[in-house]
């Protein structure tokens, strides 16, 4: 690696050369550091990531976790996971070295989340708290299983919240036909529910449909994507 000052802009840049997993020599760089100290800190973090050394920050390890996992799950699933991690986990642990995070730190984080109340005085649901903790546990598990972290502090701390079982309720055919008859004077809603009921698709898959997905000649519809909020 090398750190240089750009005499034109007055900022610093880092040039980094590395060998990728294929054994190919590569080079990358990052510009715009205000100080040499910031440039050297970024250089040090990149070296730790490249060598998978757990002296790196939790935020840096999350980038490794993202690279390892993102292509293995559906895009919508990853975006849901990523949102939870970026809003509920990284603000607390992002700047901590992952090797130094202990069970007591996880418990303190749990307590803060459980004490949270929104503007209406409502806490996070027990189900949501369990979901948040599961994401932290998954990251530490990845570090334990593949990068030699000694133990999972989130597992040792124990979970928070609990998963509330939800009873599935289905319409019978007779119930749906009665409902659809009442919806016939609202064409847009009627055809939306017809697609949902008879095709068995999810609401996100319905919202993602475009005219190109319908083949009226062959009387088919292609379900290949889903809609999710950014």
C-alpha to C-alpha distance for 152 and 135, rounded to whole angstroms: 12
Domain membership flag for residue 144: yes
Determine the pLDDT at residue 156. 93
Determine the pLDDT at residue 67. 87
Determine the pLDDT at residue 154. 95
Is residue 147 domain-shared with residue 179, that is, in the same domain? no
- CB distance 214 to 224 below 8 Å: no
C-alpha to C-alpha distance for 29 and 71, rounded to whole angstroms: 25
C-alpha to C-alpha distance for 128 and 83, rounded to whole angstroms: 13
What range does the domain containing 69 cover? 63-157
Is residue 94 domain-shared with residue 177, that is, in the same domain? no
Is residue 80 domain-shared with residue 152, that is, in the same domain? yes
Is residue 197 domain-shared with residue 152, that is, in the same domain? no
Q: Where are the alpha helices (DSSP H) in the chain?
A: 36-50, 58-69, 75-84, 90-93, 103-115, 126-147, 153-157, 173-183, 187-199, 203-207
Sign of the alpha-carbon torsion through 65, 159, 129, 127: positive
Q: Six-digit token pair at 36? A: 């040499």
Q: Which position has the token pair 């980094």? A: 16
Q: Which position has the token pair 């910031």? A: 38
Is residue 68 domain-shared with residue 46, that is, in the same domain? no
Final residue of a domain: which of 157, 184, 200?
Answer: 157
pLDDT along the chain (230 residues), means of 10: 75 72 67 82 68 76 90 86 95 92 94 94 92 95 88 93 61 85 86 88 88 90 77
Task: Tell me how far apart the 2 most distant CA atoms of the chain are, in Å.
Answer: 77
Determine the pLDDT at residue 13. 83
Query: What DSSP string describes 21-42?
Result: TTS-EEEEEEEEESSHHHHHHH
Sign of the alpha-carbon torsion through 217, 222, 228, 230: negative
Is residue 76 domain-shared with residue 124, that is, in the same domain? yes
- How many domains does the chain divide into? 3
C-alpha to C-alpha distance for 150 and 98, rounded to whole angstroms: 11
Determine the pLDDT at residue 197. 87
Sign of the alpha-carbon torsion through 207, 211, 213, 217: positive
């Amino acid at each position: 690696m090398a750190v240089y000052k750009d005499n034109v802009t007055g900022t610093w840049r880092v040039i980094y050369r590395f060998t990728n997993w294929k054994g190919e020599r590569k080079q990358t760089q990052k510009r715009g550091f205000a100080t040499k100290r910031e440039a050297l800190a970024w250089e040090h973090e990149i070296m730790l990531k490249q060598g998978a050394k757990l002296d790196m920050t939790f935020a840096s390890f999350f980038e490794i976790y993202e690279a390892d996992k993102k292509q293995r799950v559906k895009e919508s699933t990853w975006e849901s996971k990523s949102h939870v991690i970026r809003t509920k986990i990284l603000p607390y642990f992002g700047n901590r070295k992952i090797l130094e995070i202990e069970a007591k730190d996880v418990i303190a984080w749990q307590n803060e989340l459980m004490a949270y109340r929104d503007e209406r005085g409502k806490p996070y649901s027990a189900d949501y708290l369990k979901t948040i903790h599961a994401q932290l546990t998954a990251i530490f598990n990845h570090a334990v299983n593949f990068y030699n972290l000694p133990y999972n502090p989130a597992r040792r701390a124990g979970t928070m919240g609990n998963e509330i079982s939800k009873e599935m309720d289905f319409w019978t055919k007779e119930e749906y036909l009665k409902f659809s008859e009442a919806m016939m004077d609202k064409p847009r809603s009627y055809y939306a529910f017809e697609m949902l009921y008879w095709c068995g698709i999810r609401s996100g898959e319905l919202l993602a449909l475009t005219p190109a997905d319908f083949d009226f000649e062959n009387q088919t519809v292609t379900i290949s994507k889903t809609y999710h909020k950014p």
